[in-house]
Structure 1
Amino acid sequence: MLLTFVATRGGDGHGRVVSAVFKTLAALVFLAQSAVARAEGPAPEVVVSRPLARMIPRWDEYTGRFEALKQVEVRARVSGALEKINFTDGQFVKAGDVLFVIDQRPYQIAVDSARAELTRAQAQAVASTRDYARAREMTQGRTITARDVDQRKASNDIAKAQVLSAEAALRNAELNLEWTQVRAPIAGRVSDRRVDSGNLVQGGQADATLLTTIVTLDPIHFIFDASEADYIRYARSAERPKETSREFKNRVSVRLADETEWTRSGVMDFMDNQLNRRSGTIRGRAVFDNKDYFLTPGTFGRLRLFGGDVSALLIPDAAVVSDQTSKTVLVVSDDNKVIAKSVSLGPIHNGLRVIQSGLDAKDRIVIGGLANPMVRSGATVQLKEGEIKEAPVAVSDR
């Protein structure tokens, strides 16, 4: 700062005094500015680099639920009093295990009666066969009419038919007796019992009593809905026009609500044959191994499906400055001024953050020196060239 004073009257003593005062003030201001300059020191140094431009896989994410491959309602097929329950609620069962036993006594009686009826029918058929054979022999001596022979043949045919009917009745009685032991139709985890021992249960086709349910857990399905736009994009894929999830078991990953990593891998095994007209979505299904039985039908999850390769800018996640309302990245202009740019973040890829929007490939990103409080928007900085490197990719992640 330069302060000057022009006296209005030469030789005026008052003017000389004022001039001396202003000179003193000018000296003080100069000394103060020098002290401030010495206190501020040189411009802070930052490490800068341009973002990495890469082709990266695009992953489309969908929310859905896990569902059992098989879910069976175990119902009574015959009526009677429930005598035994041979499982603990929630346990694993094998196909064929006896879960419930219905009172067998009336069905055993029915089997015994049907067996006796079969014995009677068989004996009657044997006697009728002999009568018919004798009648045929008697026709040679003309001691019996043809009408009598025909009647005995008809009686023999009826007796044989009664044997067949008795055999069918016995098989039906034995089947009903077998159904008094309610067996697990599939292997899996059984639910709780819906009826306690001692209660009467109803068999049949329409009103059969529900006893319990069984679901399979390994493997397990994941059901989700994809938008119409995503479906069209997949169908029109230029690189792989025929490799849809209907023809190929495309790989997918899933994570649960409390997980941050895609820890479980599976494959697509079904896409519906039409879109839902109301929601504009199409149903998809993936299958996952569940050998530890951790995944349970009905659990929410997040599925990731490969959607093609796209161009992206990558920067270190530490270069992103966060506040309560936005995410920003500090860049340095041509005149070494710091500028804060608001950005939209994508996922982490090979240890670097994907920037969806807000940056240009030519921007010089501040990747080092952010801890210095002097490095802020509007500050002048000194530059040191750095390099952004991707993290090594494990073979299993490729």
Structure 2
Amino acid sequence: MVPNEQRSRGSWARKLGLLAVIVLAVAAVWWWLGGTSKPRTAAGPPTVPVVVEQVSRRDIPHLIRGIGTVQSLHSVVVRTQVDGLLTELAFKEGQRVNRGDLLARIDDRAIVAEVEQARAEKARNEAQLHAARIDLERYGNLVRDEAISRQAVDQQKAQVAQLEATLRANEATLAAAQVRLSYTRITSPVTGRVGLRRVDPGNVVRTSDAQGLVTVTQIDPIAVVFSLPQEELPRLQALLREPAAAPVTAFDRAGGAVLAEGRLTMIDNQIDPTTGTIPLKAEFPNAEGTLWPGQFVTVELKAGESQGATVVSARAVQRGLQGSFVFRVDESKATVVPVTVAYADDELAVVTSGVAPGDTVVSDGHSRLKAGSAVKISPPAGGAAKGASR
């Protein structure tokens, strides 16, 4: 019996040893996996990083932008009105000239001779008319004395009338010759800047030449023609009734640098049916020549102003099925607030209801937001968060 008891005790010892090994292994795994650390608390909903801004109150001008083309108010192709040899060009290309300044001369010797001939013919006929009138007066005295017949008096009256008509024709011929002579001296019809000359002295110029001698273009003042959507027509008509209330600013094509400031002068008499826009014209003082004919510019028209308006940035306003809304931040949570937008452009929106100055609204990070979302305020890329500003 002793050997059996020894074998039984050995079996129990092995079982106890195996159990101890298992317990040690479990303890080691539990320690390795952090079983000794404190239990984790349940995680809440994730916060959404957003950029915010403060709702502000200030005056906001209502601005409408478009693309326009600079046009001269007067551009004239100077042509000769008589055929002849061009003897002189009295300007330099690109020179600024005034109305009436001499631009060119044409050989006038033949026309001067025509003028002198017309004057001589007129003088001859004036002398004949003077003599005929004296004879008519003498005939009148003789007919009263019955020294000559009534027929002779009537013939003399007819001769006087004929000479008077001839004299009027002489005066017309002389006037026409003097006009032709004036055409040999070509002057500027407008105040402006001359372009490239198209003919040189020594060439024979003709009235049939299509290209002319040179172009004179008025630079100051100057106009810009641009188009706006037809929906703006009622506001534009109201502005045109008070021209002083329709200021227009011309920028460079990129819309950055201010080139000139002027005013709206006219609205075209019809809307372009292909584009649904209406052409407009604005006039600008241009003493410095910052605007040039043919130049493309960005035009900004002030169509009104909201004074003391509640303002947010345009990117803060979102649009849904129920209309416009913003996310207002209250105690680190986003609240959906419907708003009414009275005016908006690419940068700002004027809000008439929904938010008040001083409220905090989300300006960036809307894609992951919903009503009640917890938010984490992040600074904008340019620095600390600020209110909407131009």
1:114 aligns with 2:118: yes
CA–CA distance in structure 1, aligned partners of residues 378 and 212 of structure 2: 76
Aligned to 2:23: 16
What is the Cα deviation at residue 54 of structure 1? 6.0
CA contact (8 A) 1:56 1:312 kept: no
CA contact (8 A) 2:348 2:388 kept: no
What is the Cα deviation at residue 274 of structure 1? 2.1
Name the amino acid aligned to 1:202. R
Aligned to 1:264: 260
Aligned to 1:38: none
Matches within 5 A, 1:203-218: 203=207, 210-218=212-220
Q: Specify which of 260, 270, 275 is matched with residue 271 of structure 2.
A: 275
Aligned to 2:221: 219
Q: Specify which of 135, 138, 145 is matched with residue 141 of structure 1.
A: 145
Aligned to 2:55: 51
**1:256-304 deviations in Å (ceiling 9; x for gaps):** 1145144532101111222233433222110111111121111001111
Q: CA RMSD in A?
A: 4.1
Aligned to 1:228: 230
Name the SS for the 2:275 alignment partner: coil
Name the amino acid aligned to 2:97. V
- C-alpha change, 1:55 and 1:153, in structure 2 (3 Å) is same
Structure 1 or 2, whichever has the larger Rg, is 2
CA contact (8 A) 1:331 1:366 kept: no
CA–CA distance in structure 1, aligned partners of residues 163 and 284 of structure 2: 60
**1:188-238 deviations in Å (ceiling 9; x for gaps):** 1011111211222123xx767611111111111010122222224x26xxx
CA–CA distance in structure 1, aligned partners of residues 53 and 275 of structure 2: 46
CA contact (8 A) 1:313 1:356 kept: yes
CA–CA distance in structure 2, aligned partners of residues 47 and 231 of structure 1: 38
CA–CA distance in structure 2, aligned partners of residues 255 and 91 of structure 1: 26
Aligned to 1:79: 83
- C-alpha change, 1:63 and 1:184, in structure 2 (3 Å) is same
- C-alpha change, 1:48 and 1:292, in structure 2 (3 Å) is closer
What is the Cα deviation at residue 185 of structure 1? 1.1
Aligned to 1:39: none
CA–CA distance in structure 1, aligned partners of residues 242 and 271 of structure 2: 18
CA–CA distance in structure 2, aligned partners of residues 354 and 247 of structure 1: 26
What is the Cα deviation at residue 27 of structure 1? 4.0
- C-alpha change, 1:260 and 1:383, in structure 2 (3 Å) is closer
CA–CA distance in structure 1, aligned partners of residues 228 and 376 of structure 2: 48
What is the Cα deviation at residue 51 of structure 1? 3.4
Name the amino acid aligned to 1:169. T
Matches within 5 A, 1:287-306: 287-306=283-302
Normalising by structure 1, report the TM-score: 0.71
Give the aligned length: 333
Aligned to 1:239: none
Name the amino acid aligned to 2:250. V
Q: Specify which of 131, 135, 139 is matched with residue 127 of structure 1.
A: 131
1:285 aligns with 2:281: yes
What is the Cα deviation at residue 48 of structure 1? 5.7
Q: Any stretches of 5+ residues in structure 1 without a counterpart? A: 1-8, 34-42, 236-241, 320-328, 338-345, 371-377, 394-398
- C-alpha change, 1:148 and 1:214, in structure 2 (3 Å) is same
Name the amino acid aligned to 1:212. V
Matches within 5 A, 1:1-398: 12-27=19-34, 30=37, 49-52=53-56, 56-203=60-207, 210-232=212-234, 234=235, 243-249=238-244, 250-262=246-258, 264-309=260-305, 313-314=311-312, 354=348, 361=355, 364-365=361-362, 381=376, 388=386
CA contact (8 A) 2:55 2:360 kept: yes
Name the SS for the 2:238 alignment partner: coil
Q: Any stretches of 5+ residues in structure 2 without a counterpart? A: 1-14, 41-46, 317-325, 335-343, 366-372
What is the Cα deviation at residue 307 of structure 1? 3.5
Name the amino acid aligned to 1:314. V
**1:105-162 deviations in Å (ceiling 9; x for gaps):** 1001001101110110111111111111111111012121111100000101111222
- C-alpha change, 1:246 and 1:285, in structure 2 (3 Å) is farther
- C-alpha change, 1:55 and 1:174, in structure 2 (3 Å) is closer
Normalising by structure 2, report the TM-score: 0.72
- C-alpha change, 1:46 and 1:221, in structure 2 (3 Å) is closer
What is the Cα deviation at residue 62 of structure 1? 1.0
Same amino acid, percent of matched pairs: 28
